[in-house]
Amino acid sequence: MIQQEIKKSVGQPLDRVEGRAKVTGTARYPSEFPLDNLAHAVVVQSTIANGRIRTIDTSAAEAATGVLAILTYRNAPRLHPADNLRGLATPPVPPLQDEHVYYHGQHVALVIAETLEQATFAATLVSIDYEEKEALLSLDDERAQAFGSTDPDDVRGDPDAALATADVRIDSTYTTPTQHHNPMALFATTANWDGKELTLYDTTQGVGNVRAAVAGVLGLELSQVRVIAPYIGGAFGSGLRVWPHVVIAAMATQHIGRPVKLVLAREHMYTAIGYRPQTVQRVALGATREGQIVATIHEALEPTSMVDNYQEGPTQATALMYASPNLRLKDQQKRLNVSVPTWMRGPGEAQGLFALEMAMDELAYALKCDPIALRLRNIPQVHPVSGLPWSSHGLRECYERGAEQFGWERRTLEPRSMRDGKYLVGWGVASSYFPYIRLFAQARVRILSDGDAQVKISSTDLGTGTYTIMTQIAADALGLAPERVHCELGDSSLPDSPASGGSALAASVGSAVHAAATKALTQVLALISDDAASPLQGATSNDVIVSDGRIELKHDPAKGETYAAILQRHNMQQIEALGEAASGDEMKQFGTAVFGAKFVEVRIDPDLGSIQIARVLSVVDAGRILNEKTARSQMIGGAVGGIGMALLEETLMETETGRIVNANLADYVVPVHADIPPIDVLFVGEPDTKLNPIGSKGIGEISLIGMAPAIGNAIYHATGRRVRDLPITMDKLL
């Protein structure tokens, strides 16, 4: 094995390698690619939640200045079933195929014009007469029937009997509302069909998924579709699905024979790119007087669309979070006339652990026990579902190190017992968990004749730092300075790698980059193994070390030469290697997970009920931290999202019409600087090389998970009032 130089860039707080491009405006987003003869498109959305289009009159719109075409179900091309999506839920019904309407805000027409302004005006001239039917819009509607099996999803022991006989028990219901992603940039697709190849510049977290889906529905060969997304302005899970507007843009460019840009308006995004679905959850816990959990019941109800089978699964984490010999889990859904939900940062676990961790706090108070002590007492020694040993389990260290840094020993147990002047002070904690995921990935690494290197992968960078960490991994594997490594991402023509989601990218693609770089380095060594002109002739991989772009003998560093010298002497422009990586037997050998803990201090005005987050500490064990600066940024960003989830964010819908009434950033409240306190981050644990060569697990999701219950628990400690319904607002404390 070739040894890399001891000084490594992995783990260091390297500045983002794409930072200059972003701040100077040279980084191009999907709506910014200049194409000749570009037309603009605007969607028309339904104004009913259930029914059919009786008539649609486009004559006035067609006569408007600049209008090139209007697509409706009457003239749109017939699409093929989208049955080739990789790893995604059932795709929505292909757009513009018939007159049926399933939710308010469904795309029912597309106006294409010379300019955006012309298309926007003409869209207002499309007249639609609907045959409206009564819609199902509430989980409380008795007509909305639960579907799927009524059997529990997971059962251990006899939870009902154990709960009934437990020394101490709690049984509560918790609710979380519909919440929307609201990325900074509007979702956009620029489509260009040249008669042979379709190119899409798309706001997506997975160019491969878009390529496969669009090729499938349009009846094209995979080789005829290319998807490009080098930069996107946020997504948080909303870019993981292939949404109808992407297919519509592709249809539009084929229809008019010109490139078409389709940018969703902010209000369109509330029904067009998914959301975090609401949940109603019951959690019942039983324990001995010593605080040992003996029974756990977690049941959840959530909505899904009439045209999709997406399931959030809020109870999944409960199966392994704490040791419980008697357990029952059940996730249930009801179909409503709502748009399609989707993954949003920390999907399932964000809502599920809100309920479980609030319940754990309630149990701690029923036991008159410290909330951290209760959790530590019930950490499972092995994976509770598989019985396998953990590859690593850092929850105890997260709590012990976090409690020390937060000063937890100064906390008094009783609610309303801590004050700062007139303000009630509360300290709360909650556990964080997200599954470890590793997917198949490819990466290509090239060593060039000037000694620089290139890394090419098709995955996108959401702004999480993928460009930077992949540069660091390749730099260390090749023994190069990071500035000599150039990373290219976000193009489906590059080696196949997974979508950027599920906190899986670092472990998946990072392992592939490491494999490709190692293979390229081995090829260089093979090139000089019998080269009489090389001072390294005959050296094996065990004999050499790479440092600063130079291969040299371990025992005699003076003997060596650079990549550039080797390639130039052999008249080679480059050496290239394709690396692959995927999960192996480690998932069968170990229980896997990413764990963390959140600590929060709140201050509450007892007269007004106003809530101020005073400080936050996020602690996580995610294996090797590949870049301390970008990782810390992820943890801070997730904490901000968790504050929004806990205190501010709620999508409001008219229960009579299905219309979202706060579909804008004026009325949908998100955190701003004034809402955010100092946020500290603490990384614990060691690289988990049992799971992948780079020892990393991923932090994107777990950065948010646990914030909402930690805040809710802190509010209870401050006020003695248990609010089980998000968001926790002033009126609920008065």
Percentage of the chain with pLDDT > 90? 93
Please check whether residue 201 is in contact with residue 492, taking contact to mean a CB–CB distance below 8 angstroms.
Answer: no
Distance in angstroms (rounded) separating the CA atoms of residues 328 and 157: 9
Number of Cβ within 10 Å of residue 701's Cβ equals 29
Phi-psi region of 246 (alpha: psi -120 to 50; beta: other; left: phi over 0): alpha
Residues 369-388: tens digit of each pLDDT? 999 999 999 999 999 999 99
Is the pLDDT score of 146 beyond 50?
A: yes
DSSP states of 677-717 as a string? --EEEEE-S---TTT-TT-B---TTTTTTTHHHHHHHHHHH
**Containing H/E element for 578?**
strand 574-581
Q: What is the 3-state secondary structure (H, E, C) of 384-451?
A: CCCCCCECCCCHHHHHHHHHHHHCHHHCCCCCCCCEECCEEEEEEEEEEEECCCCCCEEEEEEEECCC
For the chain, helix, strand, coil in percent to 5 are 25, 25, 45
Tell me the pLDDT band of 3, cut-offs 50, 70 and 90: low
Phi-psi region of 558 (alpha: psi -120 to 50; beta: other; left: phi over 0): alpha
Is the pLDDT score of 706 beyond 90?
A: yes
Tell me the pLDDT band of 93, cut-offs 50, 70 and 90: confident
Overall pTM > 0.75: yes
Distance in angstroms (rounded) separating the CA atoms of residues 274 and 243: 9
Which neighbouring-strand residues pair with 551?
546, 561
Instruction: Specify the residue for token string 């008065």.
Output: 734
Residues 557-568: tens digit of each pLDDT? 999 999 999 999
SS3 433: strand
pLDDT value for 147: 83
Is the pLDDT score of 5 beyond 70?
A: no
| Sign of the dihedral through C-alpha 142, 147, 150, 155 | negative
Is the pLDDT score of 159 beyond 80?
A: yes
Distance in angstroms (rounded) separating the CA atoms of residues 318 and 313: 11
Of the candidates 391, 422, 405, 301, the one whose C-alpha atom is nearest the C-alpha of residue 585 is 391
Residues 34-90: tens digit of each pLDDT? 999 999 999 999 999 999 999 999 999 999 999 999 999 999 999 987 665 554 445
Residues 509-528, mean pLDDT to the nearest whole number = 95
pLDDT value for 88: 47
Q: CA of 466: how far to CAs of 87, 184, 336, in Å? A: 21, 19, 37
Of the candidates 278, 277, 270, 279, the one whose C-alpha atom is nearest the C-alpha of residue 298 is 279
Please check whether residue 546 is in contact with residue 4, taking contact to mean a CB–CB distance below 8 angstroms.
Answer: yes
pLDDT value for 678: 95
Is the pLDDT score of 542 beyond 90?
A: no
Extract the tokens encoding 59: 């004559």
Please state whether the peptide bond connecting residue 314 to the residue before it is cis, i.e. omega within 30 degrees of 0: no
Distance in angstroms (rounded) separating the CA atoms of residues 459 and 230: 9
SS3 271: helix
pLDDT value for 626: 97
Distance in angstroms (rounded) separating the CA atoms of residues 688 and 432: 18
Tell me the pLDDT band of 1, cut-offs 50, 70 and 90: low
pLDDT value for 150: 85
Distance in angstroms (rounded) separating the CA atoms of residues 201 and 185: 14
Percentage of the chain with pLDDT > 70? 98
pLDDT value for 540: 82
pLDDT value for 92: 61
Amino acid at 549: G
Q: Active-site residue numbers?
A: 701
Is the pLDDT score of 507 beyond 90?
A: yes
Residues 342-365, mean pLDDT to the nearest whole number = 98
Residues 241-300: tens digit of each pLDDT? 999 999 999 999 999 999 999 999 999 999 999 999 999 999 999 999 999 999 999 999
- What is the edge-to-edge ordering of all strands in the sheet holding 441-448? 485-488, 453-456, 441-448, 574-581
Please state at what angle helix 505-528 crosses helix 466-478, rounded to 10 degrees: 30
pLDDT value for 87: 45
Please provide residue 118's backbone torsions phi and psi, each rounded to the nearest 5 degrees: -65, -40
Cβ burial of 102 (10 Å; 0-12, 13-18, 19+) is: buried
Tell me the pLDDT band of 4, cut-offs 50, 70 and 90: low
**Domains, the chain:** 30-135+187-267 (3.90.1170.50), 371-437+588-733 (3.30.365.10), 439-582 (3.30.365.10)
**Burial track 155-191 (b if 16+ CB lie within 10 A, e otherwise):** ebeebeebbeebebbbebebbbbbbbbbbebbbbbbb
pLDDT value for 6: 39
pLDDT value for 8: 85
Residues 468-477, mean pLDDT to the nearest whole number = 96
Looking at every residue in the chain, the average pLDDT score rounds to: 95
Please check whether residue 322 is in contact with residue 381, taking contact to mean a CB–CB distance below 8 angstroms.
Answer: no
Instruction: Specify the residue for token string 């995004």.
Output: 269
Extract the tokens encoding 684: 């614990």
- Better-predicted residue by pLDDT, 119 or 84: 119
